[in-house]
Structure 1
Amino acid sequence: MANAKERTLHRSLICLCAAELVMMVNTTAFNVALPNIAETLKAGMAQQQWIVSSYNLVFAAVVLLAGFLGDRLGHLKTMLAGLGMFVVASAIGLMAGNVPALLVSRSIMGAGAGVVIPMGQALLGVLFRGPGLSRAMTAWAIAGTLGVPFGPLVGGVLTATLGWRGIFGFDGVVFLAVIAIIRMNVPQTGGSRKSRSLHVPWTSVAMMFAGFTLFSTGLVNAQHGVLAADAWIPMTVGAALIAGFVLHDRASRNPLMALDLMRDPSFAACAPALMMLNFSMYGIIFIMPAYLETVLRHGALVGGMLLMPLVVASIVGSRMNDWLVSRLGPRGTSLLALACLAAGMLTIGAAMWWPNEAAKQSTVLIGQLMAGLGLGAGQPAMLTWAMGRVPVEQSGAGSSLLTVFRQFGSIIGVGIFGSIQSGLYAAGFHDLAQSAGLNPQSAGSVTLDFQRAAGFAGATGDLTRQAASRAYESAMTGSFTAAAAVIVVTLGIVALISRATPR
């Protein structure tokens, strides 16, 4: 009996890790296709931000509802429903001929991810306890860590061979296979119609979604200036709605969010720490493809391959997790991971100052390795630290709450990186183009400026590309430096919250 149970748990872990892997490959594979999409659909930087942010916004809106339903209806049933959303979204994306259709597809995928990821973590929290939970979370983290940076390589191959629509075709086939495998191998857990109310608190869901949407809108519009009315007003109203949602949910008899878990210092410290992991991942994956594919002119396939140092370092960091936790504890490992992320961001930004191209790329490589180590070592340590404090009956709610923080990190990662990058790029291009006697008005992104340069003959085209390249590299310095500062501040907050936590 013990051996049979062990085999069941082993198969379940493999299947859940496979789901996490293909989910995260899907999430970031799309980013490497953004330059190709921008060229095909004439999408500017703001539209590209929305293509990425629509996924993250719906993800954040759905994730708490998924935890609410999963604890009542069953984690496995809820997870399978989320995987089915990816199949539907893939069919829509395959036929999309414009940006709005693409937004619909990515939004449905975001809803699916908002269900699958917290349900996967919840299933692990129920199936495994004690030392087994740590090993399971490490395997889960390795799968997710692999998927995030490995996604650009898959996306690069598909985009180079089949075009960006090939990603959607690939998704449809893979997610159908994952659904079949999970149904056959993972046992149903959780869910009790009798003991817990199924009445959905739609007011809380609406307030949270509206708050995140408005806040993200303000971040996207901040590329034209933080003090612009269409930037600070949506951000302010969005922040007020998010605060209102928290107060409303705390007072509700049927809360959507298990805020009582935040009373535990370990859980409360992990929330902002995990938020910074996604902030860093999505920021890097959003900014780097245009640099590698457009500025350096490598194309989607090579551009994806040039992000592989992040993959390798993430794997190494994940494999080092047990060794680090045994010596530093989960708190020390989490703080070290955040420090590595901040150092990696600062290194990538500083690399753009090198006049020598070889030195520049070597420094970018070092930055990727440092950030990758932080991502790989941090995720399993933080998840195990937090989920080990969550009661079994609240596994779905606890996982969903952590995932909301992670997804909010994705939203602000794309928003802050994108807006700073876009604003600095537009200003830099204006100055460089004007000094070269060119039209100082940017077409909206470095990809579109390179596309416009292709229509100019002789020196004009070369000067336009040179101005666009230099402006984008200079903007990267500002973006990654600002990101490092945000991570350092969060590091201090996490250290302060968890200072009384035992090692």
Structure 2
Amino acid sequence: MDDTSGRNLNRSLICLCAAELVMMVNTTAFNVALPNIAESFEAGTAEQQWVVSSYNLAFAAVVLLAGFLGDRLGHLRTMLAGLGMFVIASAIGLMAGNVPMLLVSRAIMGAGAGVVIPMGQALLGILFRGSELSHAMTTWAIAGTLGVPFGPLVGGALTAMLGWRGIFGFDGVVFLAVIAVIRMNVPQTGASHESRALHVPWASVAMMFAGFTLFSAGLVNAQHGILAANAWVPMAVGIVLATGFVLHDHASRNPLMELGLMKDPSFAACAPALMMLNFSMYGIIFIMPTYLETVLDHGALIGGMMLMPLVVASIVGARMNDWIVSGVGSRGTSLLALGCLAIGMLTIGAAMRLPEGIAGQSTMMAGQIVAGFGLGVGQPAMLTWAMGRVPVERSGAGSSLLTVFRQFGSIIGVGIFGSIQSGLYMTRFHDFAQSAGADPQSAGAAPLDFQRAAGLTGTAGDLIRQTASRAYESAMTGSFTTAATVIVISCGVVALISRKTPQ
């Protein structure tokens, strides 16, 4: 009987990990296609940021609602609904003829991810406890970690063979298969809580979504200057709305968010730590493909392969998680992971200052390895540390609250990296072009400037390409240095919050 139960649990774990894997492949595979999409629709950096941010914003809008519904309707039922959203969104993306239609497709996918990720974590927290939970979270993290950098390989291959629409066709087929295997192998949970009130606090949902949307809009507009009214005003209003949401929800008799969980210092420390993992991951994946594919002219497939050091190091880190946690504890492992991310960011930024060749490529690879190790070792340690403190009956709410912090990390990762990268790129392009005697006006994004250079003959085209390459590399140094600074500050916050937690 125990053997049968163990086999059933293993099948459930494999199916849940399969959902996490294909979803993360979907997320990062799409980023590899951004340069091709930018050329197809003549989209600038701001439009590309919105295509990515639409996913993250929809994710943020539904994630707490997903936990609310999962604890009342059943986590598996809610998860399957989220996976169904991916199938619908894939069909829309396959037919997209403009950027707005693409935005709709990615937003629906983001909503699906906002349901699937917290429900998957909640199911693991219910099906596994104690040491088995650590193993399950490590396996889950490896699946997600594989998906993040493995996505560029899949996206690169599909884009090279079928164009960027091939990614949406692939998604539709794969998610239908995942729905089928999960329905057959994962047991229903949460039935004992179905009697809980299902009155949805729509005011809280609206305030949270509006706050995140306005804050993200300000970050996107900040690429033209943080002091511009269309940058700081939306961010300020977004912060006010987000604060209002927290206060309103905390006072509500039917809260959307279980803020009481933040009273536990271990849970509270994991929130900003997980936020920094997503901040780093999405920031890297957002700006690296343009460098690898456009600046270095490697194409989507080779560009995806050049991110392999990140995936290999992530897998190694996740596999070493149990050993490291047994030596320095969950707190020590989490701080180690954040330190690796900061060092990796600085190293990648430094690589952009080196001349092209073995030295620059080796340094960039070393930065990917260190950052990837931090991503791999950090996620399972942090999730196990936090979810181990959450009562079973609040698994959905606890997982959703952590996922909100992770998703906010994704939003500010794309926003900060994208805005700093774009702003610095245009400034550097202007300066370098003037000193070289070229046209100082940038088209607003590296792919567009390279496209413009392709239409010019002789030295004029070469000069634009060289200027755009130098400008993008210089901007990357600034972006990664800023990111490392943010991570170091967050590491200090995590250390302070968790200073009295047991090792």
Question: TM-score if structure 1 supplies the norm length?
Answer: 0.99
Deviation string for 1:18-38 (max 9, x for gaps)? 000001000110000000000
Match of 1:426 in 2: 426
Q: Does 1:330 align with 2:350?
A: no
Residue 2 of structure 1 corresponds to which residue in structure 2?
2
- Superimposed CA distance per residue, residues 202-249 of structure 1 (whole angstroms, 9 cap, x where no aligned partner): 000000000000000000000011111000000000011001000000
Other structure's SS at 2:195 match: coil
Q: Secondary structure at the match of 1:199?
A: coil
* Corresponding residue for residue 301 of structure 2: 301
Residue ranges of structure 1 left out of the alignment (5+ in a row): none
186-195 or 239-248, larger mean C-alpha shift? 186-195
Cα offsets for 1:90-143 (capped at 9, x unmatched):
000000010000000000000000000000000000000111100000000000
- Secondary structure at the aligned position of 1:69 is classed as helix
Partner of 2:349: 349
**Cα displacement string for residues 353-398 of structure 1 (whole angstroms, at most 9, x for unaligned residues):** 1124221111000000000000000000000000000000000000
Q: What's the counterpart of residue 473 of structure 1?
A: 473
1:70 to 1:191, Cα distance in 2 relative to 1, 3 A: farther
- Cα drift, residue 268 of structure 1: 0.1
Deviation at 1:427, TM superposition (A): 0.3
Residue type of the partner of 1:117? I
8 Å Cα contact 2:272-2:490 kept in structure 1: yes
How many angstroms does 1:416 deviate by?
A: 0.1
Which residue does 1:500 correspond to in 2? 500
**More off after superposition, 340-349 vs 430-439:** 430-439
CA distance in 2, matches of 1:86, 1:356: 41
The question of 1:394 aligning with 2:394 is answered yes
Alpha carbons 2:73, 2:194 under 8 Å: kept: no
Distance 1:114 1:352 in 2: 35
Q: Residues 13-55 of structure 1, C-alpha deviation per residue, up to 9 Å, x if partnerless? A: 0000000000100011000000000001100000000000000
CA distance in 2, matches of 1:488, 1:176: 41
What letter corresponds to residue 169 of structure 2 in structure 1?
Answer: G
User: 2:355 is paired with a residue of what secondary structure?
Assistant: coil
1:198 aligns with 2:207: no
Give the aligned partner of residue 79 of structure 2: 79
2:278 partner amino acid: N
**1:151 partner amino acid:** G
Deviation at 1:192, TM superposition (A): 4.5
The separation in 2 between residues aligned to 1:456 and 1:433, in whole angstroms, is 15
1:276 paired residue number: 276
Is the contact between residue 52 and residue 414 of structure 2 (CA under 8 Å) also seen in structure 1? yes
Q: For residue 339 of structure 2, what is the aligned residue in structure 1? A: 339
Please tell me the residue identity of whatever aligns with 2:389: R
1:134-213 matches, cutoff 5 A = 134-192=134-192, 195-213=195-213
Partner of 2:36: 36
Which stretch of structure 1 is more off in the superposition, 353-362 or 66-75? 353-362
* Matches of 2:238 and 2:194, distance apart in 1: 36
Q: What amino acid sits opposite 1:96 in the alignment?
A: A
Partner residue, 1:310: 310
Cα distance in structure 2, aligned partners of 1:167 and 1:180: 20
Alpha-carbon distance in 2 for matches of 1:148, 1:254: 36
Question: For residues 332 and 196 of structure 2, what CA distance do their matches in structure 1 show?
Answer: 38
1:14 counterpart = 2:14: yes
- Once residues 489 and 79 of structure 1 are traced to their aligned partners in structure 2, the CA distance between those partners, rounded to angstroms, is 35
Contact between 2:74 and 2:194, CA under 8 Å: does it hold in 1? no
CA contact (8 A) 1:93 1:168 kept: yes
Following the alignment from structure 1 to structure 2, what is the Cα–Cα distance between the partners of residues 400 and 487?
A: 23
**Residues 372 and 193 of structure 1: is their aligned pair in 2 closer, same or farther, counting only changes over 3 Å?**
closer
Which residue of structure 1 lines up, in the alignment, with residue 406 of structure 2?
406
Structure 1 residue 75: Cα displacement: 0.2
CA distance in 2, matches of 1:332, 1:24: 27
Cα separation, 2, equivalents of 1:318 and 1:134: 11
Structure 2 residue ranges without an equivalent (≥5): none
Between 437-446 and 231-240, report the one with greater CA deviation.
Answer: 437-446
Amino acid at match of 1:99: V
CA distance in 2, matches of 1:45, 1:395: 38
Give, in angstroms, the shift of residue 193 of structure 1: 6.1
Residue deviations 1:172-196 (CA, integer Å, cap 9, x gap): 0000000000000000001456531
TM-score, with length taken from structure 2: 0.99
Secondary structure of residue in 2 paired with 1:195: coil
SS at match of 1:21: helix
Q: 1:145, 1:376 within 8 Å by CA — same for their partners in 2?
A: yes
**Does structure 2 retain, via aligned residues, the 8 Å contact 1:314–1:376?**
yes
Structure 1 counterpart of 2:327, which letter? R
Distance 1:481 1:427 in 2: 17
Question: 2:228 maps to what in 1?
Answer: 228
Aligned equivalent of 2:56: 56
Contact 1:70 1:191 in 2 (8 A): no
Q: Give the conservation status (yes or no) of the 8 Å contact 2:71–2:193.
A: no
Please show how residues 259-270 of structure 1 align to structure 2 within 5 Å. 259-270=259-270
Residues 55 and 110 of structure 2 are in contact (CA less than 8 Å); yes or no, is this contact kept in structure 1?
yes
Quote the residue 2:384 is aligned against.
Answer: 384
CA pair 402-194 structure 1, distance change in 2 beyond 3 A: closer
Q: Is the 8 A contact 1:351 1:361 kept in 2?
A: yes
Q: Percent identity?
A: 82
Deviation at 1:437, TM superposition (A): 2.2
1:439 deviates by 1.8
Give SS of 2:172's match: helix
